[in-house]
Structure 1
Amino acid sequence: MQRDALIGFGLDSVIEVLSAVAVAWQFTHRDPERWEKPTVRAIGIAFFALAAYVIVDALLTLAGVQEVEHSPLGIGIATVSLLVMPALAWLEFRTGRELGSRSVVADAKQLLLCMCLSGTVLVGLLLNSLFGWMWADSVAALVVAGLAIREGVEAWRGDVESPLEVLEALGERESLDEH
């Protein structure tokens, strides 16, 4: 993984922490619902910032300005992230629904995007390491950037429904089938 991709991966983590801080800040106020819209919009801005960085980084790599290197450490970090992020996102989404908080649900979507970024980084690193396909990580990153932009627009509008609802609905259906 090129040095800049590692920085991008770290930047995603920083944005994730800032998103969580925004949600925590919202709940420090007497009337957290009053601060819901600005908090969700701040999370939307975080999606846009992540997309911008990922697009620039991917385009620089595809243009040959940056070189891609093999990174066993990057593969390990991306793998751990893929294992941990889905559980954290599910817990946060569930908490957000129980609280009726769109900002907490939006932050859970940020975790899902982080998971997608981890997956694309992992696939790109593996394709580069195994087959020498240096372009694979950049192409996958551009797909993630598109998702980040879509999620940013949805957060900005206040539409923060989560893809995890599909999983939850399946679980409820299975539960009903068992009875």
Structure 2
Amino acid sequence: MQARKYAFLSLGAAIATIALKLVAYWLTDSVGLLSDALESVVNLVAAVVAIWALTVASRPPDDEHAYGHSKAEYFSSGAESVMILIAAIGIGYTASQRLFDPQPLENVWIGVLVSIVAAALNGGVALVLLRAGSQLNSISLRADAHHLLTDVWTSVGVVVGVILVSLTGWLVLDSLIAIAAALNIVWAGWRLLRDTGNGLLDAAWPAKDQGRIDAVLAPYREQGIEFHAIRTRMAGQRRFVSLHVLVPGEWSIQRGHALCEEIEGKLRGLMAHVT
């Protein structure tokens, strides 16, 4: 439920930035600023999907879902990646049309100022989501954060393009910047889609985190305890680890069981949501 609170923050930011960027487009008639506004519409839809996915993911395990519902988060990140790609196609199409029929821009400096305010809002929210996503190990929040950061850099590029158009009078720059923004969005969507696929395919923990498991097990190895078949996987905010423990033959079952309980407790203490 804590992660969902941050998703609502993203929703509020999306609504605010859409309004600001549409005002900037209305003031300037810049296709670059229009492309920026369209990407923020994607942010809005993504935030709604993220809220739904995080709500489902927070449900406890049941008879039909013994490992919980945490993989629901991948529906959010997968949907967001597809929407990012669709937005990029729309931006590219709109920009290509204007490329052959450039239009003069109006009220440039007021529109630029409004767009900068929207970018600053997105940047601040993105940093909050990125920090929360890392702390809560939520791919939905991380996906939303990276998307917002992409939006920020797109806004920066568009603003620079609009200013250059105003200073040089070269109207085609507006469309070229919008096309460059579309290509940047495609790259962000592809990376997010790849991360979603890795999660659905039960990718192992990052090497750094697997090293933390080895650090927990090292003192026991020095005592003659052996481990093998160490396997890890991630599902949304939850992380799973399984391993086989080999103890000396003279140990009793009770002693071996107590050792396993001790090791399990230490592995759970590595980070939140470890099973």
Aligned equivalents of 1:139, 1:4: Cα separation in 2: 10
CA distance in 2 between counterparts of 1:21 and 1:89 reads 16
Aligned letter for 2:105? E
Contact 1:120 1:137 in 2 (8 A): no
Structure 2 counterpart of 1:56, from 93, 108, 111: 93
Is the 1:123–1:137 contact (alpha carbons within 8 Å) kept by the matching residues of 2?
no
Counterpart check, 1:92 vs 2:129 = yes
1:117 aligned partner: 154
| Whole-angstrom distance in 1 between the partners of 2:69 and 2:87 | 26
Structure 2 residue ranges without an equivalent (≥5): 1-27, 60-67, 198-275
Q: 1:33 to 1:69 in 2, by over 3 A?
A: same
TM-score of the aligned structures, taking structure 2 as reference length: 0.53
Is the Cα–Cα contact under 8 Å of residues 58 and 139 in structure 1 kept in the other structure? yes
8 Å Cα contact 1:61-1:68 kept in structure 2: no
Structure 1 residue aligned with 2:84: 47
Q: Please list the CA deviations of residues 17-44 of structure 1 after superposition, one character each: whole Å capped at 9, or x if unmatched.
A: 1111111111111155221221111110
2:60 paired with 1:24 = no
2:96 is the alignment partner of 1:69: no
Q: CA deviation at 1:136?
A: 1.8
Aligned length: 159
Paired residue for 1:36? 73
Which protein is richer in helix relative to its size? Answer: 1
Please identify the structure whose Cα radius of gyration is greater: 2
Q: Which has the higher contact order (CA 8 A, sep 6+)?
A: 1
CA deviation map 1:64-122 (0-9, x unaligned): 1x524223332122111232222211111111111111111011111012112211221
Q: Are 1:47 and 1:152, in contact at CA under 8 Å, matched by a contact in 2?
A: yes
Structure 1 runs not aligned, ≥5 long: 161-179
DSSP 3-state at the match of 1:158: helix
* Equivalences for residues 5-20 of structure 1 within 5 A: 5-20=32-47
* 1:13 to partner: Cα distance: 1.9
| Aligned counterparts of 1:5 and 1:58: Cα–Cα separation in 2 | 7
Contact kept, 8 Å, 2:161 with 2:177, in 1: the verdict is yes
Q: 2: distance between equivalents of 1:102 and 1:119?
A: 26
Q: Which TM-score applies when normalising by structure 1?
A: 0.79
RMSD, matched Cα:
2.1
